[in-house]
Structure 1
Amino acid sequence: MVIEPPVDFQIDSLEKLEFYPQVFQYLSRIARELEYELVMVTNQDGLGTPSFPEDTFWPAHHKMVKAFENEGVVFSEILIDRSFEHENLPTRKPGIALLTHYTKGGYDLENSYVIGDRKTDVRLARNLGCKAIYLNVDKTDDAVLCTTDWAEIYAYLKLEPRKGIVRRKTSETDIVVEINLDGSGKSRIATGLGFFDHMLEQIARHGNVDLSIRVNGDLHIDEHHTVEDTAIALGEAFLQALGKKKGIERYGFLLPMDDCLAQVAIDFGGRPWLVWEVDFKRERIGDVPAEMFMHFFKSFSDNARCNLNIKAEGDNEHHKA
């Protein structure tokens, strides 16, 4: 939030108080729009000693806190360690002694973040079991994001990478589904059923998601388990990728294709239900039994926990499917 002076790293006067660009704009949006509790944790070397008298610290500190409060950014706690680095006290970052009450339940630490400009902040995140955002242009594998751009931090927290990986192995099938909802439309599909592959590729292409599906199924018996279990795994992958579903809207879709019109309404609200108004005149479309299309979407709806309403009409069965 505050740019530390490069010489002594102490903000001991109002003249040294300098904020990161756009921090007020985007931290206030984080506080207002997202569900995070904000806690400030800071090392202030020797605060209260002759090297860092209290009366040089508090005016700048109070000015900073008030500036954020004026923008709607309120910290539930401000935790200050006054020790020197050589003392190696557990209260000093990256130690977590000041934060132990957050580790005793009631907080989703796995999906919480430490944002800071020191390597000790990154290590603090690891010690807490949180993720780290490193306020630095230098890269580190221990942080999920390295940047000094608060707009980028806001965008990351607003919509975390939405990815899902599901492995489903039964006596009939062995399936791996990988999905990135914020991808670019790339697909790699291999179910053993050509027409089924073609239809699954359309999810990636038209949904602009990256999708990989690898299936080894009992096609020597029939197509049922391959189609059903793929839908189950795909639904689970969607559910995993959506996470807390922040920022998504209820979605409707119309697709005219020559003589056919397909209408889809979907709600990822956690209540599985399928309404299916599609009739096929042919027993098979490509190498997939027509009866399996409804079964696919029912299995998907159950496992993605979504309400799905599908209607399609027309004469060309391929277009309808």
Structure 2
Amino acid sequence: MKRVLFIDRDGTLVKEPADEQVDNINKIDFLPGVFTYLGKIAREYDYELVMVTNQDGLGTSSFPRADFQPVHDLIVRSLESEGIKFNEILIDESFPEDGLETRKPGLGLLQPYIYGDYDLTNSVVIGDRLSDVQLAKNLGSKSIFIGDNRDEADYCVSSWNEIYRILGDGLRKVDFKRNTSETNISLSVDLDGSGKSEISTGLHFFDHMLDQIARHGGIDLQLKVDGDLEVDEHHTIEDVGLALGQAIGQALGSKKSIGRYGFYLPMDESSARVALDLGGRPYFKFDCDFEREYVGDMPTEMVGHFFKSLSTELKSNLHITVKGENTHHKVEAAFKGFARSLRMAKEQNNSGVLPSTKGSL
């Protein structure tokens, strides 16, 4: 599903004059950094760009539309000349007193995005007014507010440089849904959490193992699964791995400043060697034999399959080797070892540097 940046125009792309009317060319004054950093966002990140703007006065007798259109076109052409091309430009020309649903924060103009194949939960509204923040809430999206601190917004910034950094670092917290004919999964992951979890998959031992990932990985994880357990455990465990891998990948964003690599761990008589690379090249290797078919209500054959599913969607290189005698301990060592490796690999060092000589991950 596609993510979208819904971007306001006046006050966000161009400075808003005192009379709140960008009605001639002399009033066009772009925000500092917008060409540099919105250009980098357009080139480097996987968001569609959509301009959504309320334009009071377009088409009025005092300011005919003909006066405004060349100004708007010049703004758009200037941005396009720097590689910033909007997938769509949505302009509402009504006045506040008209009370139309097309006017922000109403959703009238955004119906194709609400009912289309878009990931609105992890999309972002960028603007300089509380109506933009409310639009994000109405869409169920994140909000970035340009201006003085607003507690209502998810992020408050003073520059496009900060917006680029926030999107590049990854929002670090994402909500994710994966619904099929076999499972309905809803999860939230916060990479900078404290290890709290609320997990319900219908498989108690699997819940316990996922709690190990949250607690020892230093992430907050909320997960609810409605799966076809009457058929088999396979679909639930596999699909959780797929969903968790996708969600963590989204939260990591461009992977700038992350540690990238991780390793670990002993568990009583068992030991797990886990090597993790968040380098974007999926490869999985699992070396562990289990003496028991089940631990609790979780089939041991699904342990490796869970990690393979997660690794594939996370686009990570993951090697897990576990030795020991107690099957419970070996399974738990694998989950804890992965968690500690993930904790090391996801941590940021504030360098702003991508941990790769290739220039991309």
Cα deviation, residue 115, structure 1: 0.9
The 2-side partners of 1:121 and 1:53 are apart by 26
Q: Pick from 157, 164, 171 the counterpart of residue 154 of structure 1.
A: 164
1:167 aligns with 2:179: no
Partner residue, 2:87: 76
Q: Which structure has the bigger radius of gyration?
A: 1
1:2 aligns with 2:31: no
Partner residue, 1:242: 249
Name the amino acid aligned to 1:135: I
The 1-side partners of 2:135 and 2:42 are apart by 22
- Give me the CA root mean square deviation: 4.7
**1:36-75 pair list within 5 angstroms:** 36-75=47-86
Alpha-carbon contact 2:172-2:252 (below 8 Å) kept: no
Name the amino acid aligned to 2:249: L
Cα deviation, residue 116, structure 1: 0.9
TM-score (norm 1): 0.63
| Contiguous gaps of at least 5 residues in structure 2 | 1-12, 174-188, 191-196, 222-239, 265-272, 290-299, 324-336, 338-361
Which of 1 and 2 has higher RCO (CA within 8 Å, sep 6+)? 2
Alpha-carbon contact 1:179-1:212 (below 8 Å) kept: no
Name the amino acid aligned to 1:167: I
Q: Pick from 296, 310, 335 the counterpart of residue 304 of structure 1.
A: 310
Q: Aligned with 2:52: secondary structure?
A: strand
Q: Pick from 31, 35, 59 the counterpart of residue 20 of structure 1.
A: 31
**1:193-212 pair list within 5 angstroms:** 200=216, 210=218
Q: Pick from 96, 108, 114 the counterpart of residue 125 of structure 2.
A: 114
Alpha-carbon contact 2:167-2:253 (below 8 Å) kept: no
Alpha-carbon contact 2:45-2:254 (below 8 Å) kept: no
Name the amino acid aligned to 1:2: V
Name the amino acid aligned to 1:125: A
Cα distance, 1:81–1:24 mapped onto 2, change above 3 Å: same
Cα deviation, residue 177, structure 1: 3.5
The 1-side partners of 2:288 and 2:104 are apart by 60
1:145 aligns with 2:155: yes
The 2-side partners of 1:166 and 1:305 are apart by 22
The 2-side partners of 1:250 and 1:35 are apart by 22
Cα distance, 1:94–1:275 mapped onto 2, change above 3 Å: closer
TM-score (norm 2): 0.57
Partner residue, 1:30: 41
Cα deviation, residue 74, structure 1: 0.8
Q: Aligned with 1:26: secondary structure?
A: helix
Alpha-carbon contact 2:16-2:22 (below 8 Å) kept: yes
Identity %: 37
Cα distance, 1:144–1:174 mapped onto 2, change above 3 Å: same
Cα distance, 1:41–1:177 mapped onto 2, change above 3 Å: same
Cα deviation, residue 117, structure 1: 0.8
Partner residue, 2:109: 98
Cα deviation, residue 118, structure 1: 1.3
Alpha-carbon contact 1:264-1:311 (below 8 Å) kept: no
Alpha-carbon contact 1:179-1:238 (below 8 Å) kept: no
The 10-residue stretch of structure 1 (80-89 or 123-132) with the greater mean CA deviation from structure 2:
123-132
